[in-house]
Amino acid sequence: MEIADWRERIDAINAELLRLLNRRTECALEIAKLKRERGLPVCDPARERQVIDAILAQNGGPLSNAQVEAVFRAVIAQTVLAEEGSEGGKEGR
């Protein structure tokens, strides 16, 4: 395959990642809504650690566990920002 072919594959994967990240965030927003309704804290560091540990257990590389953890910590941080923004309605679209 040529460079352009690999880039085309990456572009398709990027589109799928975006779709999945938005789907994941929609789920997290629903959970945050339920937590607020029940008077529970939205952030749950124990759950975040559980998510990271579970994903690291599935990592077969080539990304190192440290790299995977950094990616998922960034995803979680951005999800928290979306949850905070969702308190006032849909923002960022």
Model confidence pLDDT, tens digit, residues 16-52: 999 999 999 999 999 999 999 999 998 999 999 999 9
Query: Considering all CA atoms of the chain, what is the largest pairwise distance in Å, rounded to the nearest integer?
Result: 55
pTM of the model: 0.86
pLDDT band at 84 (very low <50, low <70, confident <90, very high): confident
pLDDT band at 87 (very low <50, low <70, confident <90, very high): low
* Domains of the chain from N-terminus onward: 3-86 (1.20.59.10)
- Asked whether residue 86 carries a pLDDT value surpassing 80, the answer given is no
Question: Could you give the angle at the alpha carbon of 90 between the alpha carbons of 69 and 11, nearest 5°?
Answer: 50
